[in-house]
Amino acid sequence: MNKEEIRDWFKELQDDICGQIESADGSGKFKEDNWDRLNGGGGRTRVIENGSVIEKGGVNFSAVYGATPQKILDALKLDQADFFATGVSIVMHPSSPMVPIIHMNVRYFEMSNGISWFGGGIDLTPHYVDKEDARYFHKTMKAVCDRHHPDYYKEFKNWADDYFYVKHRNETRGIGGIFFDRLSAKGDIFMEDRWAFVQEVGQVFAPIYTHLMTKNKNLPFGENEKKWQFLRRGRYVEFNLVLDKGTKFGLDTDGRTESILMSLPPQANWVYDYQPTEGSNEAETLSLLKKGINWTRE
């Protein structure tokens, strides 16, 4: 396992996921935009728009390298060294408010001083929380984690709850999932083991999301549900622009702005001091946007 093998596997993962999403959507096709980074490396941005299910989505691959920016060195408390980073990042914004938003990122980072690690995760952001879908999603992620280490799901689920928490709103971005960062060799866990886990996380994305697309795409909705969808997209924008470390890393390393901001929805709204009607589906969803819910328990 070396950085070139990891890079090439991520490129193949991008191909596979794009094919499965196109098949499940039925009409949308990804457009590819190849780009080069001035200071080293580049990537392939693939965007799907105005499909039968997906209004806007992206499956991005990148492999960038060069001198590590001072902001990152300061954050990691490290001396100057070159870096290499590669991975796949995905966000899907569906047309229907009954289909959830989903995000995935799997990545590898190494430095010329010998430091290296994996990071990533998958999280689900329903406009309306469907408890059956939430259980399906978390049980699937737990099964992936359990195949690699008995502590992974609990640790990484809690990490996701904390990471995808919109502090200024006192709510989670969605129903969480798993999130992990700076996974390196530790004790009897080798980098090869970490890599096998990251690969399975990447491979489970498309089966999970195509299932949710197919299950929910034909559910009825009206103007009220669309208004709510735009408000929930607004929360998504707030998190990505204010709190997301991946956005900050991309901008701090002079990544391609269009690719970095691909995660933003095509339309989002803000309403001053919005309060859902008591007993409504919107109120129920807000009541479930909190940390610590055990979705794997029946």
What is the dihedral sign for C-alpha 231, 235, 236, 238?
positive
pLDDT digits (tens, 9 = 90+) for 2-11: 999 999 999 9
Listed in sequence order, the residues at least 6 apart from 87 whose beta carbon sits closer than 8 Å to its beta carbon are: 10, 61, 62, 105, 106, 107, 108, 119, 120
Q: What's the mean per-residue pLDDT of the chain?
A: 94
Q: For residues 70-75, give the mean pLDDT.
A: 76
Q: Is residue 23 part of a domain?
A: yes
Instruction: For residue 51, give the CATH number of its domain.
Output: 3.40.1500.10
**Domain of 239?**
3-287
Q: For residues 60-84, give the mean pLDDT.
A: 84
Q: Is residue 266 part of a domain?
A: yes
pLDDT digits (tens, 9 = 90+) for 229-282: 999 999 999 999 998 888 887 888 777 888 888 899 999 999 999 999 999 999
Give the highest mean pLDDT range of 65-74, 127-136, 182-191: 127-136
Does position 147 have pLDDT exceeding 90, yes or no? yes
pLDDT digits (tens, 9 = 90+) for 195-204: 999 999 999 9
- Report how many helices (DSSP H) and strands (DSSP E) the chain contains, helices first: 9, 9
Q: For residues 178-182, give the mean pLDDT.
A: 96
Q: Which residues are catalytic?
A: 103
Q: Is residue 72 part of a domain?
A: yes
69, two tokens? 């920016």
CA distance 55 to 295: 28
Q: Is residue 64 part of a domain?
A: yes
pLDDT at position 250: 81
Q: Which of 131-135, 185-189, 221-225, 277-281 has the lowest mean pLDDT?
A: 185-189
pLDDT at position 254: 76
Q: In the chain, how many domains are there?
A: 1
Write b or e for each residue in 52-79: b if 16 or more Cβ atoms lie within 10 A of its Cβ, otherwise e: ebbbbbbbbbbbbbbebbeebbeeeeee
Q: Is residue 296 part of a domain?
A: no
80, two tokens? 């100057």
pLDDT at position 75: 73
Longest dimension (CA), the chain: 56
Q: Is residue 109 part of a domain?
A: yes
pLDDT at position 298: 65
pLDDT at position 191: 92
Q: Is residue 193 part of a domain?
A: yes
Q: Is residue 297 part of a domain?
A: no
pTM: 0.94
